[in-house]
Amino acid sequence: MLESLGSLTGSPWIYAVVGVSVLLDVFLPVLPSGVLMITAATAAAAGTGSTTVAVAADKVAQVPREVPSLLILMACAAGASVLGDLFAFRLARRGGRLGRAIAGSRRLSNAQERLGGALSRGGGILVVIARFAPAGRSIVSIGAGVAHRKVMEFLPWSALAGVAWTGYSTGLGYFGGQWLGASWVGTAVSVLALFAAGSLAAYVVRRPEPGPAAAPLA
């Protein structure tokens, strides 16, 4: 699998694969979009190098090895994140099966109520935090749609969440590759750091609402 990812990061197709993965993981949180981001950024940390290729029995040649552009990678991922959020938001706003699924799920209903209250108080930072939690993006995007929030209440926070998640994932892969080398060790440490941030975000999102005496979200 690591060899396949390594080959992919040296191809322009990496941008399309990352974009599609980020776009769809609002509906399929099991997609490894974060791992793909980190792997591509780790490859970018190695810089443009060369690969030794045998061209004859006694001769070898140095062939340039392409690495992903961090700016293009981040732009693709952030744009796909916002588009996926909006698609889920619009779909949920229309009702149908998504609305019935949330109505029948206590967890989703509670998340929807909390999200609606946070957005109405200008506390959309919850959208940003939830972007890092497992399935958190799905819950807030679908919940905001079912709650019939206004697009302009949700869209700026969705964009900020996409940029924050993209920047964090890319930063983990790039600096992990710089410090630990563009190897499976650097990638593994970066992925663990991403999972740690997800666990912390999940704790914050699931935390009970503050009491009346607590200051509202800003």
**Residue 172 or residue 122, greater confidence:** 172
Per-residue pLDDT, 134: 82
Count of the separate structural domains present in the chain: 1
Rounded distance between C-alpha atoms, residue 205 and residue 6, angstroms: 35
CA-closest candidate to residue 167, choices 100, 78, 98: 78
Asked if the model's pLDDT at residue 82 lies above 80, the reply is: yes
Quickly state the pLDDT bin for 159 (edges 50, 70, 90).
very high
In a domain, 213, yes or no: no
**Which residues touch 2 (CB under 8 Å, ≥6 apart)?**
184, 187
Write the CA distances from 50 to 32, 62, 67, 83, 216, integer angstroms: 28, 6, 10, 36, 55
Between 19-28, 56-65, 95-104, 131-140, the lowest mean confidence (pLDDT) is in 56-65
Domain, as residue range, for 72: 2-206
State the average pLDDT over residues 117-136: 75
Quickly state the pLDDT bin for 96 (edges 50, 70, 90).
low
In a domain, 61, yes or no: yes
Q: What percent of the chain has pLDDT over 90?
A: 20
pTM: 0.76
The pLDDT tens digits for 1-27 are: 444 455 666 677 888 999 999 999 988
Quickly state the pLDDT bin for 120 (edges 50, 70, 90).
low
Per-residue pLDDT, 102: 55
Amino acid at 171: G
Rounded distance between C-alpha atoms, residue 194 and residue 34, angstroms: 8
Note whether 53 and 47 are within 8 A (CB): no
In a domain, 103, yes or no: yes
In a domain, 75, yes or no: yes
Report the SS3 class of residue 83: helix
Asked if the model's pLDDT at residue 89 lies above 70, the reply is: yes
In a domain, 26, yes or no: yes
In a domain, 218, yes or no: no
**Residue 73 or residue 210, greater confidence:** 73
State the average pLDDT over residues 182-191: 78
Phi then psi dihedrals of residue 147, to 5 deg:
-75, 0
> Residue 177: exposed, middle, or buried by beta-carbon count in 10 A (0-12, 13-18, 19+)?
buried
Asked if the model's pLDDT at residue 74 lies above 90, the reply is: yes
Rounded distance between C-alpha atoms, residue 90 and residue 146, angstroms: 9
In a domain, 217, yes or no: no
CA-closest candidate to residue 184, choices 1, 2, 53, 25: 2
**Residue 186 or residue 105, greater confidence:** 186
Rounded distance between C-alpha atoms, residue 85 and residue 24, angstroms: 9
**Residue 46 or residue 39, greater confidence:** 39
State the average pLDDT over residues 119-144: 78
